[in-house]
Amino acid sequence: MPEKLLNVWLIDSSGRYKKAGQLLLRDEIVYFRYLPDYLNKSDSFPIDPVNLKLEEKIYSSKGLSSPLLIFDDILPDTWGLAILSKKHKFDFFKERKSALSFMDTSVVGGLVCLPEDKKPKPPRWIPLDYLEKCFDEVQSFEIRKANFIFKYLGITGTSAGGARPKASFIDSKNDFWLVKFPSQNDPSPETVSEIEYEGLAFAEKMGIPVPERRLIKLSNGKALAIRRFDIVGNSPNQGRRILISLSTILGGMHMAEIGYEKIAATLRRYLSSPEKSIRQFFKMMLVNWCIVNTDDHLKNISLLWDGRTLNLSPAYDLVGNLWGMTSHTIPINGKSAEIKPEEILIAGKKMKIRDALLEMQRAKNLMYDYLERISKVKGSGQLMESVKGRLQKLDSFLKRHNEGIE
């Protein structure tokens, strides 16, 4: 790959574009530095407050590994890379960092990388009225009939949130939405959108911040629309907050192995409101266990950074496993499989959650309603059985605990 120099632009919470730094892509190595002009401005802040301090130095990594993982966060996910590879007839899966120069300002988060000779242009938002046409293109692409560059769908996804087809839209009120489409691999064209909707509803009832959401009926299925929580305000300028995944904060996806409790201890050192965010993190762990969301990896949990505060973002991608798998990506009290309620309580105590037992009782009560709601979703049979098994274990544990046996 030829050497390539990219300017790193920051979109701040007021919607202003600031040239913050430069990336040099040279063979396998990536280099980053803040620009002198940016360093000398009083309102400048680090694009990653944990790994990329606001200093006059050159940071480097092999590919987009630590300490430059923040740039992996702004890349499109599997779906976006597939579109990009087809459009440019280049395998971006083998050369991920090369995709950085093809982003536009509609990408999730507050960072965009552009070639030296280009300046940021206003985001290319798709009107929500065009949703059906976009869905037609999704279906064509997935069955490999699309031999054209998409008219509507751009590279507007994010590596946070998995590999589902998605794009950013604007509605008539100038509100911005990330829409996830059904996939050919889903049990039915409605299933995953409805299951994720119910997972977010469960989390919301547990007091976890979640984005505003809509289920949108299509001619053949349903799409889930999530309000863009990285965007501040609406027209005329869209301010942004930087979205930083736990993978970036911790130093890589492999760090999921240390478990929820050690992750919480690490986060406590960096968060602006540690007690509030760690409590949210504990509840997310509990909800993931209750709804059997086994895809609880480090890209599916993020923080929002605006130059002043760093805290957990609203929860997203809360999808119960529809295929009967029950092993979690992040261990709870050292266990990924056959996790018992006892492990959750121990993990809660390690996180210094004083009323962990009360939260578990609250979650148990909500699981009955969750089961009732997902029973109406086509293709949810295996998930229901998994949730029932966990509900029985939780109910039994709480009864024993209340009787003073535990």
User: d(Cα 217, Cα 351) in Å, to the nearest integer?
Assistant: 41
List, for residues 301-319, the tens digit of each pLDDT value. 999 999 999 999 999 999 9
Q: Identify the CATH number of the domain in which residue 294 sits.
A: 1.10.1070.20
Between 188 and 329, whose confidence is greater?
329
Residue 237 lies in a domain: no
Residue 324 lies in a domain: yes
Residue 291 lies in a domain: yes
Q: 59-68, 144-153, 274-283: which range is least confident on average?
A: 144-153
User: d(Cα 303, Cα 315) in Å, to the nearest integer?
Assistant: 10
Indicate whether 352 and 282 sit together in one domain: yes
Indicate whether 191 and 300 sit together in one domain: no
Mean pLDDT of 61-77: 92
Residue 157 pLDDT class (50, 70, 90 cuts): very low
Instruction: Provide long-range contacts, Cβ within 8 A and 24+ apart, for 26-31.
Output: 27/1, 27/3, 28/62, 28/63, 29/60, 29/61, 29/62, 30/60, 30/61, 30/62, 30/63, 30/64, 30/68, 30/71, 30/97, 31/58, 31/59, 31/60
Indicate whether 84 and 135 sit together in one domain: no
**Domains in the chain, number:** 3
Indicate whether 164 and 196 sit together in one domain: yes
Indicate whether 109 and 131 sit together in one domain: no
Structural domain including 263 reads 242-402
Q: Please tell me whether residue 46 adopts helix, strand or coil conformation.
A: coil
Residue 233 lies in a domain: no
List, for residues 355-364, the tens digit of each pLDDT value. 999 999 999 9
Between 276 and 172, whose confidence is greater?
276
Tokens representing 198 are 């119910």
Tokens representing 197 are 């909707």
User: d(Cα 362, Cα 193) in Å, to the nearest integer?
Assistant: 25
Q: Identify the CATH number of the domain in which residue 199 sits.
A: 3.30.200.120
Q: Is the pLDDT reported for residue 152 higher than 50? A: no
Indicate whether 195 and 304 sit together in one domain: no
Q: Judge contact between 71 and 63, C-beta under 8 A.
A: no
Residues whose CB falls within 8 Å of the CB of residue 175, separated by 6 or more in sequence, listed in order: 227, 234
Indicate whether 220 and 250 sit together in one domain: no
User: What is the per-residue pLDDT for 138?
Assistant: 61
Residue 316 lies in a domain: yes
H helices, E strands: number in the chain: 11, 15
User: d(Cα 336, Cα 241) in Å, to the nearest integer?
Assistant: 33
Residue 27 lies in a domain: yes
Q: Is the pLDDT reported for residue 405 higher than 60? A: no
In DSSP terms, 216 is beta-bridged to 223
Indicate whether 309 and 162 sit together in one domain: no
List, for residues 18-49, the tens digit of each pLDDT value. 999 999 999 899 999 999 999 999 999 999 99
Domain end call among 59, 84, 115: 115
Q: Judge contact between 59 and 33, C-beta under 8 A.
A: yes
Tokens representing 83 are 């579109």
pTM of the model: 0.90
Torsional sign, CA 235, 241, 242, 247? negative
Domain end call among 115, 140, 174: 115
Residue 146 pLDDT class (50, 70, 90 cuts): very low
User: What is the per-residue pLDDT for 110?
Assistant: 93
Between 381 and 169, whose confidence is greater?
381
Between 65 and 85, whose confidence is greater?
65
Q: Is the pLDDT reported for residue 288 higher than 50? A: yes
Domain end call among 115, 145, 169: 115
Indicate whether 213 and 162 sit together in one domain: yes
Q: Is the pLDDT reported for residue 136 higher than 60? A: yes
Indicate whether 111 and 130 sit together in one domain: no
Residue 236 pLDDT class (50, 70, 90 cuts): low
Indicate whether 398 and 276 sit together in one domain: yes
User: d(Cα 170, Cα 168) in Å, to the nearest integer?
Assistant: 7
Indicate whether 343 and 284 sit together in one domain: yes
Q: Judge contact between 9 and 112, C-beta under 8 A.
A: yes
Calculated CA dihedral for residues 272, 257, 31, 87, nearest 10 degrees: -100
Residue 121 lies in a domain: no
User: What is the per-residue pLDDT for 2?
Assistant: 72
Residue 73 lies in a domain: yes
